[in-house]
Amino acid sequence: MTKRLAVVLFNLGGPDKPASVRPFLFNLFSDPAIIRLPQPLRWLVARLISGRREKTAQEIYARLGGRSPILPLTEKQAAALTEAIEGLGLGVETRCFIAMRYWHPRAAETAKAVSDFAPDEVVLLPLYPQFSTTTTASSFAEWRKAAAKAGIAAKTASICCYPVEQGWVQAQSLLIGKALDAMGDTPFRLLFSAHGLPKKVVEAGDPYQDQVEMTAKAVVAALGRKDLDWVVSYQSRVGPLEWIAPYTEAEIRRAGEAGLALVVVPIAFVSEHSETLVELDIEYRELAEHAGVSRYIRVPAVGDEPAFIAGLARLVATARGHARCAPDGGARICNASRSGCACISER
């Protein structure tokens, strides 16, 4: 009898209609990995923030047709990944499932579907290339509770991160290379923009910033362009806290002051959503025009690029049978000072 492999893909999720915006925001800000306060204070803060931010968020999603595109795009990735894994000849029946952290399908819904599939093995695969306590660790924690409640007893392997995985880097370099070619002789800067984190989260040991920079360096090396002008920056700040820098807005202004064009890369996002389609494509493009940036090209997210999907398939094949949470079954890639590394937190 053919064994069954369930691959669970984790992503942020997004509202599927205007009425979903406020509950989506509440789910986000009530996550203890995001708002690090005890209950009931966290619940009260989440209710306050989601109410205050609803109007702005509604305006953002209105520009996207009233809903986030992240679920249908993740479904495309899941279909492509299923085909790629089957192409490896592992001798297992593979099915990919999607678990969104803050909107449907949530972990509980997905765990029920996985349980009904009755897999012999489960591989947990976040669609966050760089590990953070606020993303991957949070998704894994919710999954463990849901899986236990659903009675999933199959052997489970976890892929914590893949900041320099060959297929991920190759897909980025292929897409960026097209944009660089389009620049011709125009002086430009390559701007890798990643979602930011509060500085105190990184100072507490979160390895995300280190891993973002690992990715950028690997992509630059893969591009092989001599004397490439590039920088990493961070976007999507919320609230009064100090966030990791440099900020993307500041780097856009700096490029304008230097008389440079910009090639902007979403270096921590694997699919299009509000931070790429609105923040990068509309808001930051307008800022660039006002700042004197001569040309602004935004590189697409990798989506279901064949190289990226092939890389994910290899990660799944390698992860099978490992109990440790790491990209190659146990080797730590984070700086020793990063106490939030998955190799520690998942023990």
Give a three-class secondary structure readout of the chain. CCEEEEEEEEECCCCCCHHHHHHHHHHHHCCCCCCCCCCCHHHHHHHHHHHHHHHHHHHHHHCCCCCCCHHHHHHHHHHHHHHHHHCCCCCEEEEEEEEECCCCCCHHHHHHHHHHHCCCEEEEEECCCCCCCCCHHHHHHHHHHHHHHHCCCCEEEECCCCCCCHHHHHHHHHHHHHHHHHHCCCCEEEEEEEECCEHHHHHCCCCHHHHHHHHHHHHHHHHCCCCCCEEEEEECCCCCCCECCCEHHHHHHHHHHCCCEEEEEECCCCCCCHHHHHHHHHHHHHHHHHHCCCCEEECCCCCCCHHHHHHHHHHHHHHCCCCCCCCCCCCCCCCCCCCCCHHHHCC
Domain with CATH 3.40.50.1400 in the chain: 3-13+69-162+305-345, 166-298
195 in a known ligand binding site: yes
275 in a known ligand binding site: yes
- Which CATH architecture fits 3-13+69-162+305-345? 3-Layer(aba) Sandwich (3.40)
Burial of 290 (0-12, 13-18, 19+ CB in 10 A): exposed
- How do the pLDDT tens digits run along the chain, 347 residues long? 799 999 999 999 999 999 999 999 999 999 999 999 999 999 999 999 999 999 999 999 999 999 999 999 999 999 999 999 999 999 999 999 999 999 999 999 999 999 999 999 999 999 999 999 999 999 999 999 999 999 999 999 999 999 999 999 999 999 999 999 999 999 999 999 999 999 999 999 999 999 999 999 999 999 999 999 999 999 999 878 899 999 999 999 999 999 999 999 999 999 999 999 999 999 999 999 999 999 999 999 999 999 999 999 999 999 987 755 555 555 778 877 787 787 765 54
Domain 166-298 class? alpha beta
Query: What is the Cβ-side half-sphere exposure of residue 114, based on CA atoms within 13 angstroms?
Result: 35
**Residues found in the chain:** 347
Question: pTM for this structure?
Answer: 0.95
